Structure 1
Amino acid sequence: MLVKVFGSAVFGVDATTITVEVNTEKGIGYHLVGLPDSSIKESCFRIAAALKNNQLHFPGKKIIVNMAPADLRKEGSAYDLTIAVGILAASNQINSDDIKNYIIMGELSLDGSLQPIKGALPIAIKAREEGFKGFFLPKQNANEAAIVTGLDVYGIDNVKEIVAFFEGDNKLEPVTINTREEFYKTLDFPEFDFAEVRGQDSIKRCMEIAAAGGHNIILIGPPGSGKTMLAKRLPSILPPMTLKEALETTKIHSVAGKVRDAGLMNQRPFRAPHHSSSSVSLVGGGSYPQPGEISLAHNGVLFLDELPEFKREVLEVMRQPLEDREVTIARAKFTITYPSSFMLVASMNPSPGGYFNDPNAPVYSSANEMQKYLSKISGPLLDRIDIHIEVNPVPFEKLTENKPAESSLEIRKRVSKARALQTNRFESFNHIHYNAQMTTKQIREYCALDATSLALIKTAMEKLNLSARAYDRILKVSRTIADLENSESVQSHHIAEAIQYRSLDREGWLG
């Protein structure tokens, strides 16, 4: 008997429906075709044990399982339940009349219980698009898939539950989630707050400007000056995620198998990979491509602590994603594009020993050591970072004062107001939403300078020997400073402040 059951494969951040055809006939043997990987080939052992341990029968016949389309490689153990249901239906152990209306996915344990899968959200979106009635999957993924409305999502713990459902013995209730209620539940309760930071007012100002315009920023300071503490609090002043951004972000984390039971992500992600990370872990890829850290930071913050400690070749692969805000992974038979629109926050010591130009420094670095240390960061990469700022240690008096600091929510109000101005300004452009994304054309249009401002930036360009890209960065940051002041035009004091935020362009840093 021939039965068709439907599963799904995830490529990039989108799903493709897979038809699992199961045919049983006289004979002996189990044959699995359709470009399955080794974990799918091993499924027959898991399925046989799971069925036997739940008083179900693995038929002693010739079983042929075809996974179509046959030219598309399938990977992972999430097809266990799909194949198991197909075998049960093909051997007349369950009613197969209604199976064609459902997507069925799940990894089986030997006792018949189900393990969570990756990519539940994009699979659910594709199932709704193609008109499927419902989606069976492990209970751990049910909240994630239930974000999609118009699709009955059934979270199950054991293979017996789906057997009882198709036999009419068990009326499962679909999981329902009020997406908007979940989305707004914890939006205004940041885990880290700028109110906890003592002193560092100038750095907070930089962080506010960076958040308002979506600018990349690098913090340069000695150990213990608070670089990591400040970076962790940046997401708390970014504008709240829109529902569209939340869905985009959840989709990427779903593909990577990092969505928890909560379902929809409503806090901007903060990713902080270790400096020993490889280029594949950072940008994504692998034999079966998975999103990397830069995609997991989409709509949020990517923090690279101790930037010069990263391998130079690892940092260089970030240059194109920083410009294009997406990363394309090409293989011989397919090409996958992951979104990667993130804010880069990097930190570094000013020298190998951590103390630069400090006569009382406990560690002294020679000129050669300095050059070797700083040469790990290429000029083109630094040009893509809009704001360079020095972070100095906080004096003891500031650390012990009881004066309350401004909270993240108060800063966020100003940031959100500036972002709203930018949204209105760029509403006619499809891929530009804030100042950091401006192209040369928009810079010329929205950052027009008067004679005083032109003279000021000309002097800075000549003295600091800035590149054309650095010139554009200064104009973008100036536009953001003007937006925070609700100024229609970029003025000379906006330019002057933006020039101050190019520390690494000054003589004595990079030779």
Structure 2
Amino acid sequence: MAFETFAVHAACIRGVEAIHVTVEVSLAGGVPGIQMLGIPSMEVMESRGRIRCAMRSAGFEIPRSGITVNLAPGDIRKTGSGFDLPIAIAVLAADGQIPRDNLDRCLIAGELGLDGTVLPVKGEVAFQLLARDMGLSFIAGRSDQHVPLAGVDCGFIDHLSQLARGMGDAVRHYLDSEGVEATFEPELDYADVLGQEVAKRGMALAAAGELGLLMIGSPGSGKTMLARRMTGILPELSVEDQQEALCIHSVLGENIDGLLAGHRPFRSPHHSISTAGLIGGGRPVHPGEISLAHGGVLFLDELAEFPTGVLQTLRQPIERGYVRIVRVDGAFTFPSRFQLLAASNPCPCGFLGDREVPCRCSASMVERYRSKLRGPLADRIDMMIDVTRPDPQVIIEGAEGMSSAELRDYVVRGRAFRAWRESRMDDADAEAEDDETRSIDGVVSTFELDDAAEKCVLGLSKRTHLTGRGIVRLVRIARTIADVAESEQVTQDHVLEAAMYQGRRDQ
């Protein structure tokens, strides 16, 4: 006897999360065809043709009655091609062509080929997380980018015809070894960057203190080489951050081999990128580059070439660690905690201050160019370092410098000491470390400067006309240097070294 109605669990991606959707199917008299309810998008509507062809190719009969498909809840727009498989299963179960056993214990997502092949869909990690929260198994097409998550029973179906034997016999389960090993090129090592030891230490300090850093130097000085190696000195991702990063990359269909291998993401968008491409947006709303960099590094090369309006949108995400996008159909929140790196030439021609190539720019051209670097992101960049082209003799001799392993030790040690130090503070003092409106007395007490360091900060602020933000930036760098040295107090030496990393900045 055929079942006239049936429902299965499915989901759709909304932002970077999977939202539970119940696929309800009713077979009733009337004109044969499939009617879709529940605000389906155009791609969901197109599933009607794929489902009919796939069912016929798999040897099933298409019900001759009218088929009504309701995607509940009805107030959320349904997008994606992942509804093909759950709708087909619900139709076949309602028509009595396949057993219903175990179907109510599965979250199903998959796209159907016209020949009945079941294909994977974007957002597998998000679907798995939803299935785990609901206590369900996750069933989809087989994916080469499968991510094994703890507490989730995952299986796959290769072809719709397998369902004739029932869900229990149709599903193939991933082996324990599948999806764990990822082939990914090894991370680059700072040992390969010769003649840039001061810049390397600056990179390590920025990583240890989670400070924004801008490198200024002529073409060929090694700015990009330094930036691309930053992920190799950052501590390992926490399980939560790795899971969030995997979810974001999975939703967008990005390669996740690097994340599975334990590497942090590195994103370097071109300066022609749009606001939606950088922070997220579009229709449907999707994460941008800053969310793809979550847990890793966002590198803005040729910073002065980015449109001011695009850079302006970065201020709040950097400050809050997430970006919130509001549209007519709701609000979307994407995580965006990343290490900010930027690079720029010192002038339009790129050779101002170069030891070999003379600068061809006029004073007014240089001033206009530098004014772009004093734009919307200036308050979010704590450190500026000048990167000069290394001495050719150093490169020829191949002198060894600090490796990524050595620099990572600095970073891990500095972060561990900071965590220990902050554990001794009350919540107000810990939050005050990021407050740029603190008075000098508040800065001294919060960052624990000794008397000599305090006098040094006051002297530097008068000579260089530091603003309140400039003082906090200087002391924050000095505090990071002290943390790396495992010193409870910031000393004069720490402040003087911090002043080296203020760079060419209008104080």
Q: What TM-score, normalized to structure 1?
A: 0.90
Long gaps (5+) in structure 2: none
1:27 equivalenced with 2:40 (yes/no): no
Report how far residue 157 of structure 1 moved. Answer: 2.4
SS across alignment from 2:254 = coil
Indicate which of 38, 44, 66 corresponds to 2:48: 44
SS of match in other structure, 1:490: coil
**8 Å contact kept, 2:99–2:165:** no
Aligned-CA RMSD value: 2.8
Aligned match for 2:273, one of 274, 277, 286 = 277
Q: 1:57 to 1:443 in 2, by over 3 A?
A: farther
Secondary structure class of the residue paired with 1:273:
coil
Q: Is the 8 A contact 1:141 1:261 kept in 2?
A: no
Give the corresponding residue for 2:449: 449
Which residue is equivalent to 1:14? Answer: 17
Map Cα deviations across residues 28-83 of structure 1 (whole Å, 9 max, x no partner). Answer: 23210101100001110111111122222222220100000000111111111111
Task: Name the CA distance, whole Å, in 1 between partners of 2:91 and 2:433.
Answer: 52
- For 1:69, the equivalent position in structure 2 comes to 73
Over 3 Å counting, the alpha-carbon distance change for 1:261 and 1:315 in structure 2 is closer
For 1:148, the equivalent position in structure 2 comes to 150
User: CA 1:437 to 1:153, structure 2 compared with 1: closer, same or farther past 3 Å?
Assistant: farther
For residue 493 of structure 2, what is the aligned residue in structure 1?
493
Q: Percent identity?
A: 38
| Higher mean displacement: 232-241 or 66-75 | 232-241
**Distance in 1 between the 2:443 and 2:252 partners?**
36
Q: Distance in 2 between matches of 1:235 and 1:461?
A: 33
SS at match of 2:454: helix
- The alpha-carbon deviation at position 298 of structure 1 amounts to 0.8
The secondary structure found in structure 2 opposite 1:20 is: strand
Distance 1:19 1:66 in 2: 8
TM-score by length of 2: 0.91
8 Å contact from structure 2 (residues 99, 166) kept in 1: no
Q: Secondary structure at the match of 1:505?
A: coil
| One-letter code aligned to 1:225 | S
Distance apart, 1:24 and its partner CA: 0.9
The whole-number CA distance in structure 1 between the counterparts of 2:245 and 2:118 is 26
Moved more, 123-132 or 288-297: 123-132
Residue 230 of structure 1 and its aligned partner are, at CA, apart by 0.7
How much does 1:477 deviate? 1.1
Q: Deviations over 1:201-240 (max 9, x none)?
A: 1101101111111111111000000000110011111112
Give, in angstroms, the shift of residue 243 of structure 1. 2.4
Partner secondary structure for residue 195 of structure 1:
helix
- Structure 1 residue 96, shift from structure 2 partner: 2.0
Number of residue pairs aligned between Structure 1 and Structure 2: 498
Q: 1:261 to 1:221 in 2, by over 3 A?
A: closer
Amino acid at match of 1:81: L
Deviation at 1:425, TM superposition (A): 2.8
Q: What is the identity, as a one-letter code, of the residue corresponding to 1:340?
A: S
Aligned match of 2:212: 216
Alpha-carbon offset, residue 437 of structure 1: 7.2
Amino acid at match of 1:4: A
Shift of 1:135: 1.0
The answer (yes or no) to whether the contact 1:3–1:96 under 8 Å persists in 2 is no
Please name the residue that 2:165 is paired with: 164
**What is the aligned counterpart of 2:411 among 408, 411, 415?**
415
Q: After TM superposition, give the deviation of residue 464 of structure 1 in Å.
A: 3.0
- Larger mean Cα displacement after TM superposition, 237-246 or 449-458: 449-458
Partner SS for 1:65 = strand
Letter in 2 for 1:467: T
Partner amino acid for 2:480?
T
- The aligned residue for residue 292 of structure 1 is 288
Residue 323 of structure 2: which of 310, 321, 327 is its match?
A: 327
What is the aligned counterpart of 1:250 among 246, 252, 269?
Answer: 246
Structure 1: gaps spanning 5 or more residues: none
* Structure 2 match to 1:60: 64
Alpha-carbon distance between aligned partners in 2 of 1:373 and 1:488, rounded to the nearest angstrom? 41
| Structure 2: distance between partners of 1:27 and 1:429 | 72
Alpha-carbon separation, structure 2, partners of 1:278 and 1:265: 30
DSSP-derived class of the 2:146 partner: helix
